[in-house]
Amino acid sequence: MYSNILHWIILAALLNTLTAKQPNIVFLLADDMNRDSWGIYGNKDCKTPNIDRLAKDGTRFERAYCSVAMCGPFRQELYSGRSPWRTETLPNHSKSVPGTKSIVHYLKPLNYRVGLLGKSHVGPKECYPFELLGGVSKSDDANPEILRRSITFFDDCKKKQQPFCLFVGSHDSHAPFTTGDPSRYDHNKISVPSYWVDTPELRKEMVKYYAEVSNFDYLVGMIRAELERRNLWDNTILIVCSEQGSQLPFAKWTCYDNGLRTGLVMHWPGLSEPGTSIEELVSIADITPTLVKGLGGNLIRGACDGRSFLSLLKGEGGPIRKYVYGAFTNCRILDNKDRIYPMRSIRNKRYSLIYNPNYSSKTSNITLSQALHLLYNPKVMPKQFTPAGSWVAKKNNDIKEKMLVQKLNHRPEYEFYDLLKDSGELKNLVTDKHYKKAFELLKKELHTKLSEYGDADPIATERDYLARTRK
């Protein structure tokens, strides 16, 4: 009798496993968007009701970081689960080394269709063999087209009873800002963050930028509504990510928190509890292994550097990472392709340390070009100022503003910040004796990791990338 009961229990469990619906995945990715542009991260001016609602229904990540604050490296780290040091994608517009495996390779054996719609910025094809659903416009609002193609993909997969994973790469919040409704914002009434110098030029650019942030948020709401309308919501993992920071100063093209720290919200039915937040350190490289393991797949041994954070979603166990690392290389960036100014960084839950090996030289990136020109040629005034250029042109009597202008141009060899007390990274604590022990520990850990990556001399690394670019 008992053996018969046991037989039926096992059979029922097996049948349940075979007939269980595999969850779908939709990943919505912005383009150069500061995490603190979202309401859930404290912004009271920029309107992001759909992202905020998703966070209330799921999980918000407080300390999610990428390794490089540029589009190409970010996306290849996301899709491959590998460090950009290992895929050799530290520079922008770079392609992963042959043999790199991505989420496509891991989900296809589970019968998933893995699509990519919108911005790609990854390669080569054999490393990222997505089902490509086409690019979309940057100059015009692409939301209607994204929605139309997404619906077609959803319906086709549903008809064929095949689970899907769809990555949507929006262009919203990547300069120049051309979409959204700037009239929703008054540049005189918005607040300027402490890490920027308040000028009319900056405020006007912030309004256009906020318009695109809100346009992306609108896309989040549209996609969610369609998932609900098609009865897919309760069986779909929806993830929204801000990518790296904006093209405004001290974000993209840097190793500052505004560059490397990413906004990340996840709704995983049956796993993520409504209104929860994860305070532990998480890397963008951790997303692929988390999804693969959560869906019952297997990672290729040694092919993935990321770690699953399923335990964090379940509220079990301790931290999965003690540190996260960051890098910047100027190679292949417009206006300053030949300038050597690498940056490297390390963070734990409290402190950030930034290493500027070529600190005696000038900083770089395209958004600083006018500012640097004005600093060295103050008599030649342009007709219009960029946000950073307006900082230099402003008569700065304020000590903090003078410091920020200096920070545009030259930075010390090491910068060390207490993120709990100084989230804007405005006060360098390198010489503060009270922080000496913490500084020395992170410095040692950073250089140990760089040696492991074959990057003990970042200046030499950047020269090597530059030499390869010229060939």
**pLDDT for the residue numbered 16:** 40
Residue 447: pLDDT over 50: yes
The answer to whether residue 357 is domain-embedded is yes
Q: How far apart are CA 255 and CA 90, in angstroms?
A: 12
The answer to whether residue 4 is domain-embedded is no
Lowest-pLDDT choice from 142-156, 233-247, 298-312, 344-358: 298-312
The answer to whether residue 114 is domain-embedded is yes
Domain end point (choices 278, 294, 321): 321
Please report which confidence band the pLDDT of residue 471 belongs to, taking 50, 70 and 90 as the band edges.
low
Domain holding 369, by residue range, is 327-470
Same-domain status, 63 and 143: yes
Q: How far apart are CA 111 and CA 295, in angstroms?
A: 11
The answer to whether residue 8 is domain-embedded is no
Q: pLDDT tens-digit profile of 307-323?
A: 999 999 999 888 999 99
Residue 402: pLDDT over 70: yes
Same-domain status, 279 and 388: no
Residue 469: pLDDT over 80: no
Distances from the Cα of 358 to the Cα of 5, 73, 148, angstroms: 72, 22, 48
Same-domain status, 64 and 202: yes
Q: Which pair of structure tokens corresponds to residue 396?
A: 């700065």
- Return left, alpha or beta for 137; rule: phi > 0 is left, psi -120 to 50 is alpha, else beta: beta
Residue 8: pLDDT over 70: no
**pLDDT for the residue numbered 343:** 96
Residue range 387-398: mean pLDDT, rounded: 88
HEC string for the chain: CHHHHHHHHHHHHHHHHHHCCCCEEEEEECCCCCHHHCHHHCCCCCCCHHHHHHHHHCEEEEEEECCECCHHHHHHHHHHCCCHHHHCCCCCCCCCCCCCCCHHHHHHHHCCEEEEEECCCCCCCCCCCCEECCCCCCCCCCHHHHHHHHHHHHHHHHHCCCCEEEEEECCCCCCCCCCCCHHHCCCCCCCCCCCCCCCHHHHHHHHHHHHHHHHHHHHHHHHHHHHHHCCCHHHEEEEEECCCCCCCCCECECCCHHHHEEEEEEECCCCCCCCEEEEEEEEHHHHHHHHHHHCCCCCCCCCCCCCCCHHHHCCCCCCCCCCEEEEECCCCCCCCCCCCCCEEEEECCCEEEEECCCCCCCCCCHHHHHHHHHHHCCCCCCCCCCHHHHHHHCCCCCHHHHHHHHHHHCCCCEEEEECCCCCCCCCCCCCCHHHHHHHHHHHHHHHHHHHHCCCCCHHHHHHHHHHHHHC
Residue 383: pLDDT over 60: yes
Residue range 428-456: mean pLDDT, rounded: 98
Please report which confidence band the pLDDT of residue 77 belongs to, taking 50, 70 and 90 as the band edges.
very high
Same-domain status, 236 and 356: no
Same-domain status, 165 and 83: yes
Distances from the Cα of 383 to the Cα of 71, 255, 370, 386, 409, angstroms: 31, 31, 12, 10, 22
| Residue 122 · residue 77 · CB < 8 Å | no
Lowest-pLDDT choice from 36-45, 113-122, 149-158, 397-406: 397-406
The answer to whether residue 314 is domain-embedded is yes
Please report which confidence band the pLDDT of residue 115 belongs to, taking 50, 70 and 90 as the band edges.
very high
Residue range 228-233: mean pLDDT, rounded: 97
Residue 14: pLDDT over 50: no
The answer to whether residue 312 is domain-embedded is yes
**pLDDT for the residue numbered 300:** 86
Residue range 407-414: mean pLDDT, rounded: 92
Q: pLDDT tens-digit profile of 168-214?
A: 999 999 999 999 999 999 999 999 999 999 999 999 999 999 999 99
Same-domain status, 167 and 123: yes
Domain end point (choices 321, 338, 353): 321
How many domains, in total, are found in the chain? 2
Please report which confidence band the pLDDT of residue 18 belongs to, taking 50, 70 and 90 as the band edges.
very low
Residue 162: pLDDT over 50: yes
Please report which confidence band the pLDDT of residue 2 belongs to, taking 50, 70 and 90 as the band edges.
very low
The answer to whether residue 251 is domain-embedded is yes
Residue range 382-389: mean pLDDT, rounded: 92
**pLDDT for the residue numbered 12:** 40
Residue range 258-277: mean pLDDT, rounded: 96
Looking up residue 245, the CATH number of its domain turns out to be: 3.40.720.10
Whether this prediction's pTM lies above 0.85 is answered by yes
Distances from the Cα of 311 to the Cα of 85, 165, 307, 341, angstroms: 26, 22, 10, 39
Residue range 379-389: mean pLDDT, rounded: 89
Q: How far apart are CA 48 and CA 232, in angstroms?
A: 23
The answer to whether residue 2 is domain-embedded is no
What sign does the dihedral 333-339-342-343 (CA atoms) show? negative
Residue 284: pLDDT over 50: yes
Same-domain status, 309 and 379: no
- 93 vs 440, more confident: 440
Distances from the Cα of 236 to the Cα of 226, 268, 317, angstroms: 12, 7, 25
Domain end point (choices 321, 341, 364): 321
Residue 5: pLDDT over 80: no
Same-domain status, 47 and 153: yes
Same-domain status, 386 and 282: no
Same-domain status, 285 and 368: no
Q: Which pair of structure tokens corresponds to residue 414?
A: 């090491």
- 9 vs 62, more confident: 62
% the chain with pLDDT above 70: 95
Same-domain status, 382 and 409: yes
**pLDDT for the residue numbered 20:** 58
pLDDT, averaged across the chain: 92
HEC string for 49-82: HHHHHHHHHCEEEEEEECCECCHHHHHHHHHHCC
Please report which confidence band the pLDDT of residue 439 belongs to, taking 50, 70 and 90 as the band edges.
very high
**pLDDT for the residue numbered 13:** 41
Same-domain status, 400 and 299: no
